[in-house]
Chains A and B, each alone.
Chain A
């Protein structure tokens, strides 16, 4: 009984986080096909600005909290086979559909009917197809070039605060370049 109650509050917490996330994505314009495809055509840099600002603000905060033992980090395992090939396949879908898994939920809330019909159906078929092929893929291509859940500070053996400072500088450099180019 107690377990069930905890579970319900967790689900409500997820829903609450989602409402804020969706609200922000819509205000940022990321729930629109034109904005996402505009980014991929390199004519509208809204999506990159949102993503890199989230990283610039999020990164020092989570690393500081981890330093004090307030949070755990959850770096994902990967391999060249997973991230390069999977990334390219995802990219094809990103451009054709014009939404990603998070922003399609936002697009549905925004009223895009192509998202709630064809887009959702396609994603469900795609994930179902992957589940069907998973045993073969997992014992083959997904293992190619495996590097696990390594992070840049661990991989390069450089102090994490130095790496964070370098990434912050690089992100600010990208913003400076984008703004100077008037994009």
Chain B
């Protein structure tokens, strides 16, 4: 049982585990592992709560449907799976400002929050624009050898590497 209390596993082992989880997901859930649509659904549900039923009539929400489905529960499950893993290994910690960010931009939570909000806007907007994220395109799509997913995944990293280089200074 030691393995469950270890802080980290080999990334190769973790990846292989996600690969096997994908087999099971295709076989038993009849769905690939993917995450980002659930965030769009939640956003639409919150807006519907604030602005009324007409929000659900938007063309995009007609397409993705504002319902709690398999994928929405998958994302919720990730929160608890990660919590369980972190608690078992003693790796759970409440952090406002991650180390690398603090070294570059200081440890003021407000500045980190501003970065997280702006980053989140780009991430959410871009994930819907590309119709997938690092899991839907980056893992599930690429393993199906889908052209749209390989192009997306490559451009996720091109955009990310260039932005990180600008934010942190190249390779420092």
Contact = CB atoms under 8 A, between A and B. Distances in A.
Contacts of A150: 146-148
Given A54-B143, A72-B30, A131-B60, A14 B148 contact: no
A52 B27 contact: no
A24 B18 contact: yes
Contacts of B30: 71-72
A134 B112 CA distance: 30
Contacts of B93: 110-111
A11 interface: yes
Interface string A119-140: 1111111111111101101100
A19 B22 contact: no
B35 A105 contact: yes
Majority secondary structure of chain A interface residues (helix, strand, loop or mixed): helix
B128 A23 contact: no
Contact of B136 (A57, A76, A138): A76
Contacts of A1: none
B149 to A, nearest CB: 6
Interface in A57-93: 57-59, 61-62, 65, 70-80, 82-93
A160 B145 CA distance: 9
Interface string B38-78: 11101110110000000000111100000011111111111
Interface string B112-124: 1111111111111
Give the interface size bracket for B toward A.
Answer: 35 or more
B166 to A, nearest CB: 8
Nearest to A53: B15
Contacts of A72: 26, 30
B15 A61 contact: no
B159 A83 contact: no
Residue from B8, B31, B85, B168 having most chain A Cβ neighbours under 10 A = B85
Contacts of A11: 68-70, 73
Interface residues of A, number: 124
Contact of B165 (A41, A78, A117): A41
A17 B16 contact: no
A127 B127 contact: yes
Interface string A30-46: 11111001101111001
B123 A93 contact: yes
A87 B131 CA distance: 9
Q: Which 3 A-B pairs have the closest CB atoms?
A: A18-B77, A91-B159, A122-B120
22 contacts: A17-B29, A17-B33, A24-B14, A24-B17, A26-B81, A30-B14, A43-B171, A50-B15, A57-B18, A59-B144, A76-B137, A76-B141, A78-B149, A87-B152, A99-B123, A106-B79, A107-B82, A109-B83, A113-B96, A123-B121, A128-B47, A131-B40
Interface of B: 6, 8-9, 11-33, 35-36, 38-40, 42-44, 46-47, 58-61, 68-86, 89, 91-101, 109, 112-165, 167-168, 171
Interface of A: 10-34, 37-38, 40-43, 46-47, 49-59, 61-62, 65, 70-80, 82-103, 105-115, 117-132, 134-135, 137-138, 142, 147, 149-153, 155, 160, 163-164, 167, 175
